[in-house]
Structure 1
Amino acid sequence: MASEEIKSKKQRNDECIINCLPEDLIERIFLRLPVSTLLRCVSVCKHWHNFIRDPQFVVSHLQCAPRDVLLFFQQESVSGEPYPSDAILIDEAWSPSTCAVPVIGPDDFLFGSCNGLLGLYTKTSTIKVANLATGECLHLEKPAKNVKGDHFSFYSFAFHPVTKEYKITHFLGDCVEGRPHNKDRFSTIQVYTLGDEKWKDIRTPEALSLISVRNSGVVNVDGKMYWLTEEMLSSWQHAVMSFDLWEESFAMIQLPAACEDHDYFGPRKFWIRDIDGKICIVTAQTSRYGPKALAGELQIWTLDNTVEQQRWSQKYNIKNPPNYIPGPHFVHRDRILAQLCSDNVYAYELFGENCDVNLCKGVNLLDFSPRKPYNMQSYICVKSHVRLDVYKKAGIVRRPKQLEGWQLKKWETWKCRLSKLADLQCRMHKFEHHLLVCWPDCYY
């Protein structure tokens, strides 16, 4: 009883201290606090609860929040052993987190990140939008149920800077009575605006390639969605298709001529990515040794949008291309995230624009073995307190049972296995060395 009285008295004293400060000073302090600390402060002083929930403060706090890298590993099976979906954050110091991302379930698939909100595809009849920091989740019905061949890569999550609306899009494969009619193409984009009651179907100008969407990716920049497609007149050529989320209109952007050059190596591989808020095309020749091996140089082109025209410019020309280009964000703070010949993710520094870059040295961020490198995604992410309960008209909002989810340790099982494996290999090496010394004839 006495301890409760002491705790209550301390809380009242803390509230008095905060309330004595000027409001503009408190706002400046709150803007620089991480979400977890901010929520604890508000729990102590209820007076400021409505203040931090004000939409203008949420926007201002979001602009001050540090941008981290979120690496996502989708659910998979390796050598018959299941590995759940998982994620890890890389902070501004390029240091990986050792805590779990509490909103990502073992069967979830990540398809987008906006302002601290994650778009997650599930194998059930719902998808969910989750706040990375607060743990709040909004569960929504999928636009089409029981569609065969549906995939998380056919979904996208975006924020429109003018309307301030969050939108989820879905590429719906051509089908008849729920069965795939042409699983390689789509003629409808389904759009849902958070807070609306239902999805909206929008017809495309013509049937477009669904395979290109899955292979090359989708990015969202300034209220428009971009993806690569094949031109109908010459299937070996590519173009960028854009969809304006506000006007709901389509446009096609031709790639620079240099992107379509072919040489003796093999056909080119293309990805669409986002670098510092600009559309980016990444391309390289495939090697004669296999479609997953790259040869020559990795070219990176960015699209400069002006009032008069759209112009492509070559931003980087990278020698010794990596084996895999994660997306949709693979360049962060002038470093490129890549995986070469090992199972490690590296961050390689890029020295200026329009110059040759040799990936010879890099910062080792993470060993993701035994997972497959081609199942990794990379997003730029923040921790914010964007509210989801204001969008619950057509969905169900679930709040976290506890705010301490970030304290759950992760990677410990993998680290333990890797340590045991390294120890076993060391013992085997010593044993073989002992045999070689004592019984050299056994090796001949």
Structure 2
Amino acid sequence: MEKNKLTNVGDLSEELLTEVLARLPIKTLLVCKSVSKPWLSHISNPNFINSHLRYIINNNNNDNNPTLLDILDSPEVNLFLDTYSTCHICIDRVVMPSVFRHSRVVGTSCCNGIVCLSNDYRNVVYLWNPSIRGFKEVFVPELYVSKWCPVKTGFAYDSTCNDYKVFRILYEVNLDSVTSKMQVYLVNGDSWREFRVPFWGKTMREKFEGNDFIVVNERLYFNSWDEEQLIAFDLRKEVFGLVPFPGSVQNKWSDVLDFKGSIAVVFESVSGIDLWTLDDDVSGQVSSWTKMFSIVPGPMFNMWLSCYLGAGQFYGNNLLEGNLFAHNILYDSEKKESKYYRDGREYILATLKYTKTLVSLDGFHQVEENADE
């Protein structure tokens, strides 16, 4: 029999080339773009980018390869981390580009590799993929003069229409009432639309206070300071709902978390401090909470958990008297151990759960090389 001949990489079919390249990390793929014009065209093709994204999502479903991204104010930041040898977390660091200098990161995780930022006045939104150094600037409808006050910004991917959406909730104070509305920006259409939020009256601002949100199963959950419920928004139906907390709990000790594809919150009750997961419809009329496991604070008694990273690891803060954030921590829910991650006084602007992707949105521009120096 004739021995199989070695195949030149250039002779691979489109399908096989996609199959091979989709398994490569982002850094390698960016280098591969320089190999040849055909490879540059192939890797830049939206079909390949989607294939690579699907491979990453499917590969990360085992929850064993979490990545934490530190966004720095300066490259001269030292990290004291005593968990490099004992935890399975990849830690990336990137300096905030100067174009975003007066902005803050929205949420505690990226969306398919896209990080959402909002400027100090909340009238400009940036969508940024640090892996490919691309960004898009989105101006809000009432850019310069408005009687509406923004209180919440969110960002999500809607698989039903294959589109990314930016959400802004605003309120207007009148003499005897508070009116609220939701604005939605569609990336594919590069357009805004809006509709009124139909309830909550004078407590609107308090219910939406804070800047955190999470997206699970095509639903946007806002982290409310209300002690009895959280706020949900169905991306498909575009309806709001209030989801009551379990009746037996007292204080809340976390943001709203995405725990293995389920909404989760850490609550304190008479039995201790535990993580609970939610199974509900967005209307809040049918909801149930299940206690999953106990959180043991250990030597750092007061902890606030901000994000579930995977592999049993949580990111958060330990608290001083008066609920002031002090040190950032990593909490291992399997070993019931907390370890210092970094000092809260360092010039790290944000830390979030991150996934490296090639995703590029319409209207993306390259961050200038000198913009983050």
TM-score bin (small chain): 0.7 to 0.9
Amino acid at match of 2:120: K
Aligned-residue offset at 1:32: 1.7
Question: TM-score with structure 1 length normalisation?
Answer: 0.64
In the alignment, does 2:235 pair up with 1:239? no
Which residue is equivalent to 1:274?
258
Of 172, 175, 178, the residue aligned with 2:170 is 172
Aligned-residue offset at 1:100: 3.2
Question: In structure 1, what is the Cα distance between the partners aligned to 2:310 and 2:35?
Answer: 36
Question: In structure 1, what is the Cα distance between the partners aligned to 2:242 and 2:113?
Answer: 30
Q: Is the 8 A contact 2:281 2:287 kept in 1?
A: yes
Amino acid at match of 1:137: F
Question: In structure 1, what is the Cα distance between the partners aligned to 2:99 and 2:264?
Answer: 28
Matches within 5 A, 1:150-229: 154-175=152-173, 187-206=180-199, 207=201, 209-215=204-210, 217-227=212-222
Structure with higher helix content: 1
Aligned-residue offset at 1:56: 3.5
Question: In structure 1, what is the Cα distance between the partners aligned to 2:125 and 2:281?
Answer: 36
Of the two structures, which has the highest relative contact order with CA contacts closer than 8 Å and spacing of 6 or more? 2
Cα pair distance change 1:237/1:279, threshold 3 Å:
same
Question: TM-score with structure 2 length normalisation?
Answer: 0.74
Which residue is equivalent to 2:312?
334
Amino acid at match of 1:243: F
Aligned-residue offset at 1:99: 4.9
Of 31, 36, 50, the residue aligned with 2:22 is 31
Deviations for 1:173-192, whole angstroms, at most 9, x for unmatched residues?
Answer: 2246xxx987xx66211111
**CA RMSD after TM alignment:** 4.0
Amino acid at match of 2:171: G
Aligned-residue offset at 1:19: 0.7
Cα pair distance change 1:211/1:323, threshold 3 Å:
farther
Amino acid at match of 1:20: D
Matches within 5 A, 1:349-368: 349-351=332-334, 359=336, 361-364=337-340, 366-368=341-343
Aligned-residue offset at 1:197: 4.0
Aligned-residue offset at 1:377: 5.3
In the alignment, does 2:288 pair up with 1:311? yes
Aligned-partner SS, 1:301: strand
Cα pair distance change 1:221/1:111, threshold 3 Å:
same
Aligned-residue offset at 1:344: 3.9
Question: In structure 1, what is the Cα distance between the partners aligned to 2:209 and 2:256?
Answer: 11
Unpaired runs of 5+ residues, structure 1, are 1-15, 76-82, 231-235, 262-266, 286-294, 352-356, 409-444
Q: Is the 8 A contact 2:182 2:197 kept in 1?
A: yes
Matches within 5 A, 1:254-293: 254-259=244-249, 261=250, 271-284=255-268
Aligned-residue offset at 1:194: 0.7
What number of residue pairs does the alignment pair up? 338
Which residue is equivalent to 1:111?
106
Amino acid at match of 1:116: G
Aligned-residue offset at 1:106: 3.0
Cα pair distance change 1:132/1:99, threshold 3 Å:
closer
In the alignment, does 2:328 pair up with 1:345? yes
Deviations for 1:332-389, whole angstroms, at most 9, x for unmatched residues?
Answer: 22112233369543322222xxxxx8x4x3444x3234249xx97553211111122x
Aligned-residue offset at 1:303: 0.9
Question: In structure 2, what is the Cα distance between the partners aligned to 1:87 and 1:122?
Answer: 26
Cα pair distance change 1:322/1:155, threshold 3 Å:
farther
